[in-house]
Every structure is written in C-alpha cells, then in structure tokens.
Amino acid sequence: MTHCIGRETSDDYDTVGNRSSTSAEHPEESLRMKESGVRLKKKSSPYGVSVPERKLTAHEPTERAPLPEKAMISLHQNIGAPAQALVKRGDRVLTGQKIADSDKFVSAPVHATISGEITGTTMVVNPPTAQPVEALIITSDGTDEWVELEPVENPEALSTAETLKRIREAGLVGLGGAAFPSHIKLSPPENARIDTIILNGCECEPYATSDHRVMLECGEKVLSGLNIIRRLLSPQCTYIAIEDNKEDAIDHMEDLIVAMGLTKEIKIVPLESKYPMGAERILTKLLLGREVPIGGLPLDVGVVIHNVGTTQAIHEAVVEGKPLIERVVTVTGAVANPKNLLVRFGTPLRNLIDFCGGTVGKANKIILGGPMMGFAQFDLDFPTVKGTNSLLVKEDAPVTEQHCIRCGRCIEICPMRLMPTLLAKCAKAGRYDECKEAYIDNCFECGVCTYACPASIPIVQHIKVAKKELAKRAVKR
C-alpha cells in the first residue's frame, strides 16, 4: 500500500490550494512511501528558524497540581460564542457538571472543575483577544465529588451523531492553541472530501513540553482518540507528525502503533526540529505539497489536523464519558522547579508558580504559551483555561525599537513567503488597505520575523493591529 507523503502540489491542487478537476479518486495511489514500516523519511522545511529549544521539562513526568481552593471558570474558552451560565450564586456543583453552554453553532460548553459552591462572578481579560469575559467563581468544598460519568464499552458501536454529541457535550476544543470547538472541526460540510488526517505532535514552541509528555504517558489514549477521528472522517491517509527532538516519543508511538495492529493505517513522519514546524499551514504544505488558500483552512484542501492533547481528550470524552476539565501545563523558565502539571481549569497562575517553588532571579514577566506566540499576562490570579498549555516565567529586558535597516531577514525566513517589513511599515502608517493587498490574511502570526529582526521592530504586533483594524472595517461594511 502506498501513502500520501510525497504528493506534488500540481497532482491534485493548484497553487492556491483549490482542488484540481483532474484529482485522482484515491490520492494515495499517485504517491510514494519514503520508507517501509511505520516511520517514514524525515522531512524538513527551508523556511522558519532554529530557535533555542530550552525544553527544561522534557524528562519531567507529569504531576497533578493541587486543586485550588477557588476556581475561576471563564465562560469564554474557545473560538466562537461565549457560554452562558446555567447556575447561579449559592448553587452547589459537582466536578464535571456542565455549568455553562450556548445555543450558538460555534461554541462549547463549560464544566465545573472542582466541587463546591458558586460564590460569585467576576470579569477577566481574555489574553488572545484582550477583551473582558465573565467568569464563575467556585469555592471548593474539599471533596472533589464528581458527577456520574457515562462510559461506553464499545465506542465503535456509537453512531456518528452519538459520537459527535459526546465530544460536544464534553466541551472539547482544540488544545494546540486555537481552541476551536472540536465537534465542528469533525463535522465537515457534505461537499468536503477529507482524505488526510494529520496528528500534530510537533510542539515547536521553545520551553513547552506538555504534548511531549502526553505522547509518552498517554499514547494509548492519543491513538484511541485518533481512531475515533478516523471512524468519523474515513480518511485514506493518517499521519502523526513529530519533531526529531522528541525521539523517545517517536519510538514510543511507533511501538504502540505496532502493538495495536495499526501499521497499515497510521504512519509517523519525523520532522526537523525547527520553528514554526507545527503550524497547520506548514504541516499541510510540507507533508502533502498542498497550499491552504488565503483566509482558508486545511479543510479546504482535504486535510484535518488535530493536536495530540485533543485526541487524548476525545478518547476520554467518547470512551470514558469525561468532560474536558483539565490538561497538562508546562510551568517553566525562571521557577525553582520547572514541572509538567496536570491542572484543573480555573486554577490561578499564582498557585502553579508557588507549587513549582516560586520564581528565581529577576523574573519580571509571565507568558501564557511559548515565547514566540504566547501572550504576556499581568495578573497572577488569572485562571488557567482550556488553551493554557504552558506558563513561562522569565526575565525580560526592555528593548528599544529602531529603524528598519532593510536587511531582508524577515522576508528570508517567513514561512508564508510574505514581506513582513512591508506589512509592518504599512500598519504603522495606518495604510491598512495596502496590508490587505500584501496578503496580510495569510500571516498566522508565528513571530519569526520579530525574532530575527536586528532593529528590534515588533513586526508581528504591528501586523496584529492591522488585522484588527481591517476586521473592524469589514464589520462596518
């Protein structure tokens, strides 16, 4: 049997990712396997940068973080509509109980992460959007009493509708950073033909190791969740992409695939450790030769990509009946004891730092996520949410922005082959229409341009401002 690695763009898609009218009915027939067995030939990209990895916690087994005395549960933890509270002050809730939901299409319910009493509400600032969102406060009763879960003995006997309902009711969202509701991603339009699934285990951000530990410690659940996705979408090709700085994870996942008898169905693609190798657009292009259209999604070129933490959560939701109330979070950088922690959502960041021995040195900055695409956080009492995969504590020296010297480094390394210096220049001048003409919508804000800029120009921040202004104009129209 041959597989999808090695497809040339011209075989089935034009240069902007639209399916060609000459597309083969079975795409794998026109492709070639690079190696026999589960592990295929390592692939690399000419774009991006090699950044200091600083994976301080790669070999630190996951520990359970103490449950918080008070959990602050944000009602907006996903792309799309926020949830509306289903409980009120004074109500007692159980761990895993649904406490908020929405009737909007793009949404996901929210669950209690500890048992106790609803003692109030508050407003917190959502870091990705900088918008205030409502949060419920649960004061723990110290028992961690759970709702009754509804596991299934044979998940294969579930219909597609039943499986998607369990995923939706569990509040699953993508755990790779975007937090897009998983049940929607697994319900493509009827006219969409999905032929490839990519499981993303790259974790290319410096410092972060939560996905690495999930693969090592919960690999069976990861593959079980991947099989559930395969049953829902019936792809012809399934790949697991893992960077080569996680050789132990590659070996472990390979052994599990063999042990589970999935060698014909699932292949592992080792990738050169390079940032931003784990970006969806990069994986789609690198593995399949397909370019996602501007403003589009991998879905538009027949691909669905999920994070390894998401597939673990899919297994727990469908097989165990467990809602998404916790995840592995890497707490690292300038802390006494960097760790990987299994954290209940709503736990204050302060609690995690204290559990890791507190800060050390001249730490003055907290970043949710990695240093490349993460968001600085000013409030140590901010709660962890579904999208929190890493908490980085670091010393940050002030930087002075200088004039662009036109060195072209940002252009050379841009993985989307854009002109970041032009985008930043137009954004600073308020010429947002010119940003649009320069394909700003194709930028996924990886930050390599800012990282490489010798003039310390915050290029990606200027790009974000321009995108927001363009979005405002689009709404007014």
CB within 8 A of 309, min separation 6: which ones?
Answer: 175, 176, 210, 211, 214, 327, 328, 389
CB within 8 A of 161, min separation 6: which ones?
Answer: none
Cβ distance 265 to 226 under 8 Å?
Answer: no
Question: Which residues of the chain fall short of a pLDDT of 50?
Answer: 1-36
- Name the 3-class secondary structure at 462: helix
**AA identity, residue 256:** L
Q: What pLDDT score does 222 carry? A: 98
**AA identity, residue 223:** L
- Distance between CA atoms of 334 and 76, rounded to whole angstroms? 29
Please state, as a whole number, how many other Cβ atoms lie within 10 Å of the Cβ of residue 142.
Answer: 11
Cβ distance 284 to 298 under 8 Å?
Answer: yes
CA distances from 392 to 78, 227, 307 (A): 21, 33, 20
Query: Of all helices (H) and strands (E), which one includes residue 305?
Result: strand 303-307
| Whole-structure pTM value | 0.90
Question: Rounded to the nearest 10 degrees, what angle do helices 219-233 and 247-259 cross at?
Answer: 60
Q: What pLDDT score does 128 carry? A: 67
* Helix spans in 2-103 (H): 9-12
Q: Could you tell me the two tokens for 346?
A: 């709503």
Cβ distance 477 to 433 under 8 Å?
Answer: no
- Distance between CA atoms of 476 and 345, rounded to whole angstroms? 36
- Name the 3-class secondary structure at 71: strand
- Distance between CA atoms of 447 and 352, rounded to whole angstroms? 27
Does residue 66 have a cis bond before it (omega within 30 degrees)?
Answer: no
CA distances from 30 to 7, 23, 27, 246, 476 (A): 7, 10, 6, 30, 47
Q: Could you tell me the two tokens for 468?
A: 């927001």
Q: How far is CA 128 from the centre of its chain?
A: 13
* Helix spans in 100-188 (H): 160-169, 182-185
Q: Which residue has the tokens 């009120």?
A: 88
Q: What pLDDT score does 40 carry? A: 94
* Helix spans in 327-374 (H): 349-355
